[in-house]
Structure 1
Amino acid sequence: MRVLVSGATGIVGRFVVEHLLVRGHEVVAGVRDVTAALPVSRPVETVFLSLDRDAPLPGFKGCDAFVHAAFQHVPGRYRGGEGNDPEGFRRANVDGSLRLWTAAKRAGVRRCLFLSSRAVYGPQPSGDLLSETMAPAPESLYGVVKWEAERALAALGTADFMTVSLRATGVYGLLHGLPHKWEGLARDYLAGRPVEDRVGTEVHGDDLAAAVLRLLTADAPLVGNKAFNASDLLTSHHDVLSELQQANGCRHPLPAPLDRRLFGEMDTTRLRALGWHPGGSTRFRADIAALAERLASDP
């Protein structure tokens, strides 16, 4: 399968590209800088891809699928990623995405997957299980834009152009050349600076990439024009630092744990029914151990 992946230099894009390559698929990486080598296990073809309305469109010809993981935002921020330009934020991430999807459909791409977010659900009642059957009620502009994009893609869906949205939770995982999600937290803790607990749902980047591949290869009637939740663990900064303690022996006080019963988990029954099995606590512990090793090797 030949797959064009937008946002290939981002955290999710990198995991998706690598996961596809390792499993023998051909990848075309959509990037903003085609002169920079993508740090993955083998060379990949790169094409210029931008969400700007006047940018040239990438060549989709010959591609079987399009994974749209690109998202234009203020660096380091998703919620609040609009900065001082909410209209430009919406124009790029909704209109710009629609422009790419329309081009992909015209070029004969058969499947299109959009990386959406749990933010489409908005602030549901405390502790509620978030299911794909819920009516989205996004509160942040980030969530609004993701939901608008989901609907725009679904409207393009046909028997010959299968569309699907993957609503991802927080994504963690170690990648060469990129900071780990909890690297700043870990450095503060190891330096003895005060840290506070924060609860959230998480999924490892490679598990998210495995979900992407499942959706690209599943029977079309099972996934077409649907949304799927992707989440694995309900965890916290307290849990992260507790694992860090086990890995490096640091004994600074851990932050007081919050009551996680008030935080809504995501129902992943729909995705698991396709055979998706994330790494759970075993993968989480291994990842924090790898992070500890990285930090220990710093000069």
Structure 2
Amino acid sequence: MKIAVTGASGYIGSFLLQKLLQSGASVRALIRQRVPDFFEGELRNEVEWITGDLANAESLDRLVSGCTGVVHLAYHHLPGKYRGGEGSDPVEYWNTNFGSTISLIEASRSHGLERVVLLSSRAVFDGVTDEGSPITDSTTPRPTNHYGLLKFASEGMMNLFDDIAICALRPTGVYGVRRPIEKSKWFEFVNSSTVANDPLDKFSNVGHTEVHGTDVAEAIYLLLDGPANQVVGRSFNCSDIVVSERFLVQLTRTIQTGEYVELGKLEPPKPAQSIMNSEGLKHLGWKPGGFERLSKTVELLI
């Protein structure tokens, strides 16, 4: 397969490019300027890099021409903000993000691509407050902000076309080591003097859901490669574990001291909201790394 990717330099992008190359796919990625310095080795040399802009029709044609599928990861937002990423200009935010999604789908249709995977988000469920039930793939979305509404609207594009196969993935918070390592999620936190010295009860035990970038990449690959009748027109939840500040502190300290402690014996986080059920992905063969992958990641960060 030959896969086009937007947003390749983002947090999920490097994990996805690596997964695609390891699986034998040819990869073409759209970037605005030059190849990021943190892409080394095969990520730099084996990916076909296309310089262009999602707002430019010629760029989109060059990106998708000859490809079998496309993964749309790109998201224009204020630096460091997903929710609230519209800042003071929601009109530009919508024109840029939703407009580029429509343009990419239209370009993919005109070039006869077989599969489009849209990156959605857990944010489509921010207004779901039923603590007693897990959020399934079929739970009705209730976005409460521009980010969630944008992703929900993008998911709706799946229902407009019968001549191209479109599906969506809804990751929760994504973690994992990226380059440079200082830009990895939690790097500053786990290496802070606060984590090393403050009493444990100073840290919040309110949980939030997380999934490793490697597992997100695996999920995307399953949606690209899976049988059309099992994935097309569907949105898949993508969540793995529940983590809190306090849990991360406990885990970091056990690794730093070299003291072996079973993860199950650490004080568990208290979920702040209903947990996303990822059974749809698991039926396709998805097997996330769980707390073992979290532990290995923290070990690399400290």
TM-score by length of 1: 0.88
Q: What residue in structure 2 maps to residue 228 of structure 1?
A: 236
Tell whether 2:214 aligns with 1:206. yes
C-alpha contact 2:116 2:165 (8 A) present in aligned 1: yes
Q: Map residues 29-48 of structure 1 onto 2, 5 A cutoff.
A: 29-34=29-34, 36=36, 39-42=39-42, 43=45, 44-48=47-51
Aligned to 1:20: 20
In the TM superposition, residue 197 of structure 1 has moved relative to its aligned partner by: 4.2
1:67 partnered with 2:71: yes
Structure 1 distance, partners of 2:271, 2:81, is 26
Code of the residue aligned with 1:120 in structure 2: it is V
Give the whole-Å Cα distance in 1 for the aligned partners of 2:282 and 2:204: 33
Match 2:270 to one of 260, 274, 289: 260
User: Counterpart in 2 of 1:295?
Assistant: none
**2 CA distance for matches of 1:33 and 1:156?**
32
Which residue in 2 is equivalent to 1:163? 166
Contact 1:173 1:204 in 2 (8 A): yes
Deviations 1:214-266 (A, max 9, x none): 1111110010111101111011111112111112139xxxxxx8962442111
Which position in structure 1 is the counterpart of 2:145? Answer: 140
Partner of 1:172: 175
Give the alignment partner of residue 91 of structure 1, picking from 70, 91, 95: 95
Structure 1 contact 5–69 (Cα < 8 Å) conserved = yes
**Residues 98 and 153 in structure 1, CA contact (< 8 A), matched pair in contact too:** no
The answer as to whether partners of 1:129 and 1:267 remain within 8 angstroms in 2 is yes
Identify if the C-alpha distance between structure 1 residues 271 and 36 changes in structure 2 by more than 3 Å, giving closer, same or farther: closer
Q: What is the one-letter code of the residue matched to 1:223?
A: V
Aligned twin of 2:261: none
Pairing 1:118–2:115 present = no
Aligned residue pair count: 285
The answer for the alignment partner of 1:108 in structure 2 is 112
Q: CA 1:120/1:40 → structure 2, altered by over 3 Å: closer, same or farther?
A: farther
Give percent identity, aligned residues only. 31
Structure 2, unaligned runs of 5 or more = 259-266
**1:146–1:65 distance in 2 versus 1, CA, 3 Å:** same
1:286 and 2:258 are equivalent in the alignment: no
The question of whether the paired residues in 1 share the 8 Å contact of 2:117 and 2:167 is answered with yes
Local SS of the residue matching 2:297? helix
User: 1:18-38 deviations in whole A, cap 9, x for unaligned?
Assistant: 111112111111111135456
1:181 CA displacement = 1.0
Mapped partners of 1:22, 1:212: distance in 2: 14
Tell me by how many angstroms 1:284 deviates: 0.8
Q: 1:174 to 1:2 in 2, by over 3 A?
A: same
Q: Secondary structure at the match of 1:124?
A: coil
Question: What one-letter code is carried by the residue in structure 2 that aligns with 1:61?
Answer: S
Hey, which of these two has a bigger chunk of helix by percent?
2
- 1:57 aligned to which of 56, 60, 74: 60
* Structure 1 unmatched runs, 5+: 251-256, 293-299
Give 1:204 shift.
0.4
Range with greater deviation from structure 2 (174-183 or 63-72): 174-183
Change (3 A) 1:110 1:37: farther
- Report the secondary structure of 2:118's partner residue: strand
Is the CA contact 1:34–1:47 (under 8 Å) kept in the aligned structure 2?
no
- CA distance, structure 1, for counterparts of residue 271 and residue 232 of structure 2: 33
Amino acid at match of 1:182: W
1: CA distance, partners of 2:139 / 2:41? 39
CA pair 61-95 structure 1, distance change in 2 beyond 3 A? same
Give the letter aligned to residue 137 of structure 2.
E
Cα 1:183–1:243 shift into 2, 3 Å: same
